[in-house]
Amino acid sequence: MPAIQKVIPDVPVIDRRNMNVWEHEPARQAVEGTGRRRLLVSGLLTEACVSFPVLSALSEGYEVFVVGDACGGLATASHELALRRMEAAGAHMTSWIQVLLELQRDWTRLETYDGARSIIETYGGGYGIGLNYARDIIKP
């Protein structure tokens, strides 16, 4: 995915074909190699390619957060059912805006301010409009 590689060019791509990334040894070893026990997961096909590795990681004691609105399923109902299944198994549900704001922490972190604000202004709906208003009209 060129857009992602542009932002993190030093992260190697691990090509795989199976639906459960947890069953692909090179990918799994890359995750385990970080030493981290908390995972943030999103992706396409909530019903398989997201839920299968989430359920596998949970069964091995990982703490898993699923970015539900950054996942896609075949239908709204099947997507929601997959999210509910993962949550029932112990995964924590979150949203892209919550992840971004947690990483940003506050608007005084100037090294990431412009990038975070740009994402929110572009994709953050009413919150993005409010940030534009504050910058252009209120000028804090």
Given strand 63-67, what is the order of strands in its sheet? Answer: 38-41, 63-67, 92-94
- Is 49 tagged catalytic? yes
3-state secondary structure of 117: helix
Paired residues of 66 in beta bridges: 41, 93
One of 21, 41, 47, 49 is an active-site residue; which one?
A: 49
32 φ, ψ (degrees, to nearest 5) = -60, -35
Q: Phi and psi at residue 5, in whole multiples of 5°? A: -60, -30
Catalytic residue ranges = 49
